[in-house]
Amino acid sequence: MSSWLKISYFARNLNYCIKYKKMKQKHIQQILAVLPNNITLVDEKIDYLDYQTIAIEKNITALDAYKIMTSHQPKWLELLFKIRDFLVRLVGIKPVHGFNNPEQQHHNLETSNTLHFFTIIEQTEDKLTLQVKDSHLDVCLCLRIVNNTEKTNMLYLIASVNNHNFWGKLYMMPVSVLHPFVVRQLFHNFK
C-alpha cells in the first residue's frame, strides 16, 4: 500500500470517528433535554446514555420500584447474565450473577449499601442512584420518580456509562443494543 493510500485511509477513518463522536454527543444532549431535574449521571463524560419510562402507582418509592423490577427475570435474561459472566471472567472482570438473589428483596439499608451488583450512592423516596465502578467502565443507574397524574407517577430509569478502555467499549457494543429491551422486559413486573 502506498503512503498516499495509507494517509487517505487514515484520514477517512479519522473523519468517520469525528463524525461518530459528534453524533453521539448530539444524541446524549437530546436525551438530557427531556430528562427530569435532580438526576445523577455516571460523570460529566458520558459514553452511553439511555432512559426508559413507565407510569407507576403513587405509593411506590424508588427502592420499591427497583425491587419490583428485579423481582422476576425471564429465563433468557438469566441465560444472558450467565453468558456475560463466563465471557468477562476471561478478561478479569468480576461476575454479577444477574438479579436472582432472593435475599435482596429484604434489603436493609442499615446493614448493607448494595443491591444485587450495584452500590447504592443515594436513596430518597423519589430517587435511587446505583453504581458499578470497574477497571473497564463505570455504570450509573438512576431511578427517578416524578409526578404524572392524580393516580400515577412516572418512573424514569436512566442508565449512563463511562468507558475506560477497549474492554469497556467492547463490552458496551452488545449491552447498548440489549439494555433498552431488558429494561422494558423488567418493566413488565409492574403489571
Total domains in the fold of the chain: 2
Is the pLDDT at 127 greater than 60? The verdict is yes
Pairwise CA distance, residues 66 & 64, whole Å = 5
Q: Which one is predicted more confidently, 174 or 127?
A: 127
**Domain check: are 171 and 139 in the same one?**
yes
User: Same domain, yes or no, for 27 and 92?
Assistant: no
176, 139 in Cβ contact below 8 A?
no
The winner for highest mean pLDDT among 22-31, 104-113, 179-188 is 179-188
- Looking at the structure, tell me whether residues 42 and 22 fall in a common domain: no
Residues 104 and 91 in one domain: yes
Among 121, 122, 73, smallest CA distance to 98 is for 73
**Is the dihedral angle over the CA atoms 57, 62, 64, 67 positive or is it negative?**
positive
Same domain membership, residue 30 and residue 41: no
Is the same domain home to 44 and 65?
yes
Q: Which residues contact 160 (CB under 8 A, 6 or more apart)?
A: 41, 42, 43, 46, 48, 49, 139, 140, 142
For residues 77 and 151, membership in a common domain is answered with: yes
Q: Are residues 24 and 70 in the same domain?
A: no
pLDDT band at 19 (very low <50, low <70, confident <90, very high): low
Quote the domain boundaries for residue 27: 1-34
SS3 content of the chain, % helix, strand, coil (to 5): 45, 25, 30
Q: Which pLDDT score, from 0 to 100, does residue 7 have?
A: 56
Same domain, yes or no, for 22 and 54? Answer: no
Q: Report, as an integer, the average pLDDT of 38-44.
A: 91
Pick from 78, 126, 116: nearest CA to 96:
116
Query: Would you call 147 helix, strand, or coil by DSSP?
Result: strand
Q: Are residues 41 and 1 in the same domain?
A: no
Cα(183)–Cα(181) distance, integer angstroms = 5
Cα dihedral 164/166/156/23 (nearest 10): 100
The model's confidence at residue 63, banded by pLDDT at 50, 70 and 90, is: very high
Mean pLDDT across the stretch 43-68? 93
72 and 105 housed in the same domain: yes
- The residue with greater pLDDT, 165 or 6, is 165
